[in-house]
Chains A and B, each alone.
Chain A
């Protein structure tokens, strides 16, 4: 049986120290490595989690699984019982015989990962198979279940976010024998029913349910298994250049590299056409608007083995308390913030004119953390990105300064119902920095971000917010403002899948704050047939 250690704690914090949050109990679960068959070991882990859910139900306690605690918002937190699942890292290849008859995938590209596999583990595993993830975030420490639940993204302009590479999910929705489900899209089935039976799961094929469960915020039960589609391994060639603001934003607003004023000579072909980048990111110092933008442009290249190691041999780290001290000082003397940011630019921005090459896992390698951190990501349509950036910079100068730098990344739309990358190409306008305490001299982060939301709203800029980052989540009707009716469909799907009792068990403060914890007895008429089909399904 899977090993579970129980820790009675009083508080819990996330990886970036945005808490602490009061918490009663932490379970640490590990697989039973005495079980030889990986499928049996996988199923045994699911049974272990179900036992914890059963006990939580019996004790009227809520329950939430988490992995690397990477989210800066409190989306991963549960004040009653938390399950640390990072040790659940089984990986399984999919055989041809396990594919669905109507599949559109190659078996060699499909893999089942248990929830606790981190992005780095997955990248290393896939590399040994000659494969690679299609995209990842800017760092590699998130577990796969956590990454997809909150919509982790990179800046892959034609790929999407991590959840967009998922083709199947195994969820644990309760303690019973019928409470393991495997869901995938009806329009793009991947695995045969027999495979689902091997992992003791009911099969549900529904685009609406699958898309809702992709970015689930932990509310659709415990994500235990994730079937990912990988692709053949490739290299990424990363350039860092300084580009004028006008040229950088011309690309940002259109993602049209063919007709852009800025061109990288090395990526212009003999016939004058240009290669389309894999990734485009702008780093912006908000307190020096006239400065050229440091721009990271990455191109996909065929894999070869003889490339220089892109990970520096020696990595120096700043004193771990310095950012915290600087932030505390800056909160009292805010006028020096622009000067401090200027002094720290070598720590915050990549080195200009550097060119490196490596696999996805090497280019987005381990990140270091020397202080508590805040981060906020606004998703906006790329057409609005220049205007949104100007408004953001104006606010940072008028209401601030605040100790943060800006960046812009660009991601293809997600099919996830509550994927915050919901525009055809979403620009993620981010501010990252060191947290501070608001005072009479300096606006608080929450108040500042509230002003940003109001400004975007008043200027007709549609936006979303990264679920795993800081934001004034209690802003009135925030989710409706961002998603229109999509959140209604998400709630319907959750209410179809879970009983009221289980929906409550998997809720938390975050869901209550954003008003996504509501349980719907009366669902939309077009989903009644799906509800009945789910209720009737058996393993």
Chain B
């Protein structure tokens, strides 16, 4: 009985690791410019003290539409970084809808506004 429980847990754990490995993100960042700061955002890693805007939605395309463009109007002086993330579920959704339902998960950091 205990053996079965352990096997079950290991299977679930393996599945979770597999699913985690199936999703990934890439950060494209600007060599120049300083990120817009946010004194209240304190987290380990790249986004520490940066002002972050998360864009998350499912985009529906019609039969005649091929691709979509997300137009951001918040960064008045350009992007400091953009992270695009794709999860395992997003890939499945895209596959089984023949590319007509695309999940968009983007994390945007703007360049800190200057005073010129």
| Contact surface of A with B, Cβ cutoff 8 Å | 7, 9, 13, 15, 17, 26, 28, 31, 33, 38, 41, 68-69, 84, 86-91, 114, 118, 120-121, 124, 309, 311, 317, 320-321, 324, 365, 368-372
Contacts and interface: CB of A to CB of B under 8 A. Distances in A.
Interface stretch (B3-11, B30-38, B54-62, B66-74): B30-38
Contacts of B32: 124
A365 B31 CA distance: 9
Contacts of A87: 37, 112-113
Q: Which 8 A-B pairs have the closest CB atoms?
A: A320-B45, A90-B115, A84-B39, A320-B44, A86-B37, A121-B34, A120-B34, A13-B42
B48 A369 contact: yes
How big is the B interface, by class?
10 to 19
Contacts of B39: 7, 26, 28, 69, 84, 86
A91 B42 contact: no
B37 A317 contact: no
B31 A114 contact: no
**Do most interface residues of chain A lie in helix, strand or loop, or is the interface mixed?**
loop
Contacts of B116: 38, 91
Contact of A124 (B33, B37, B42, B48): B33
B114 interface: yes
Contacts of A317: 45-46
A385 B115 CA distance: 44
B87 interface: no
Contacts of A321: 44
A38 B114 CA distance: 11
A15 B42 CA distance: 8
Given A69-B39, A311-B31, A372 B49 contact: no
Nearest to B36: A87
Given A26-B40, A120-B34, A114 B115 contact: yes
Interface in B102-116: 112-116
**Do most interface residues of chain B lie in helix, strand or loop, or is the interface mixed?**
loop
Contacts of A372: 44
Given A69-B49, A86-B37, A120-B34, A33 B42 contact: no
A72 to B, nearest CB: 14
Contact of A33 (B45, B46, B48, B115): B115
B40 A369 contact: no
Contacts of A31: 115
B31 to A, nearest CB: 6
Contacts of B34: 118, 120-121, 124
B27 to A, nearest CB: 9
B49 A15 contact: yes
A38 B44 contact: no
Contact of B44 (A9, A17, A121): A17
A11 to B, nearest CB: 10
Residue among B34, B40, B116 with the highest chain A CB neighbour number at 10 A? B34
Given A89-B114, A118-B34, 14 more contacts: A7-B40, A9-B40, A31-B115, A33-B113, A68-B37, A84-B39, A87-B37, A87-B113, A120-B34, A121-B114, A124-B32, A320-B45, A324-B44, A365-B31
Contacts of A114: 115
A319 B37 CA distance: 23
Contacts of B45: 317, 320, 369-370
A120 B40 CA distance: 21
A15 B115 contact: no
Contacts of A370: 44-45
B74 to A, nearest CB: 15
A71 to B, nearest CB: 13
B37 A38 contact: no
A41 B114 CA distance: 12
Contacts of A311: 31
Contacts of B46: 317, 368
Residue among B42, B45, B115, B116 with the highest chain A CB neighbour number at 10 A? B115
A124 B32 CA distance: 8
A4 to B, nearest CB: 13
Contacts of B114: 89, 121
A89 B112 contact: yes
A494 to B, nearest CB: 27
A309 B32 CA distance: 12
A330 B87 CA distance: 34
